[in-house]
Amino acid sequence: MTKLKPKKSAVSHRLLVLIFASMTIFLQPLSAADKNSWRIVNYWSEWCAPCRVEIPMFNELSPRLAKSNVIIVGVNFDEDPRDLTLKIADDMGIEFQTLSQQELDLLGLKPPDVLPTTYLLSPANEVMAKLIGMQSEQDIIDALTRQGLTLLNQ
């Protein structure tokens, strides 16, 4: 009796490669200058009052830190569907990138126990700091400088 083997499909293999590539785009720097990017990952929720207080600070800090290869991204703690998350982020005035569940899965972060929680990730995506509770601009800058980062225009 001959065993039947499943037929390999080049189309499905290409599709998997495309899906993986699109999911890792956040983690793969687009230019040589971005290879040393640090990430500040801020967990928020629409029901979290301290989160709402932090958001304007992160909005203002995001373009300034980008000059120093530090990227601020947000995560909806409630894991709502992507369309709803983007609507909530817009309603809350979040101007920095909000990660999709796929991008978050690639980072391997476990959801925090309390909100707000902010993680500082190295360019290798290692958690270098976990900041619990509402943060100020100075708290964020201090956490970055403790990692030896030299921040431009601070």
Q: In what order do the strands lie in the sheet with 97-98?
A: 97-98, 70-76, 38-44, 117-121, 127-132
Q: Where are the domains of the chain?
A: 37-146
pTM equals 0.77
Q: Which residue has the tokens 């699109």?
A: 22
128-133, long-range: CB < 8 A, 24+ apart = 133/50
What is the spatial distance between Cα 71 and Cα 87, in angstroms, rounded to a whole number? 21
Q: What is the DSSP letter of 35?
A: G
At residue 151, the pLDDT reads 86
At residue 15, the pLDDT reads 37
At residue 9, the pLDDT reads 46
Is residue 1's pLDDT more than 90?
Answer: no
Closest CA to 100 of 152, 154, 25, 12: 25
At residue 7, the pLDDT reads 47
- How does pLDDT run across 43-52, given as a tens digit for each residue? 999 999 999 9
pLDDT mean over 123-145: 96
Is residue 72's pLDDT more than 90?
Answer: yes
Q: Which CATH architecture has domain 37-146?
A: 3-Layer(aba) Sandwich (3.40)
- How does pLDDT run across 4-55, given as a tens digit for each residue? 444 444 444 443 333 343 343 344 433 344 457 999 999 999 999 999 999 9
- List the beta bridge partners of residue 131: 118
pLDDT band for position 67 (cuts 50, 70, 90)? very high
- H helix runs in 99-149, sequence order: 101-107, 137-146
Q: Which residue has the tokens 């980072």?
A: 107
